[in-house]
Structure 1
Amino acid sequence: MRPAPGEVLHFSEDPTIERFAPHVAPTSRETTPYVWAVDGRSAPSYWFPRQCPRAMAWVRAGTTDADRDRIIGAGCGVRVHAIEYAWWDAMRTTRLYAYRLPAAAFVEIASPGADPHAHVATEPVVPLGPPEPVGNLIDCHAAAGIQLRLLDSLWPFWHEVTTSTAGFSGIRLRNARPR
Structure 2
Amino acid sequence: MINDFPEGLTVRRPAAVDHARVLAVLDRWWGGFGGEAGSMERALLLPRLFFQHFATTSYLAERPDGDLAAFLIGFFSQSDPEVAYIHFVGVDPALHGRGIATALYRGFFDQAHAHGRRHIHCVTSPGNTASQAFHGRLGFKMLLGVRGDGDVPVQPNYDGPGLDRVVFALDLTARVDP
- TM-score, normalised to structure 1's length? 0.23
Higher relative contact order (CA 8 A, sep 6+): 1
Higher helix share: 2
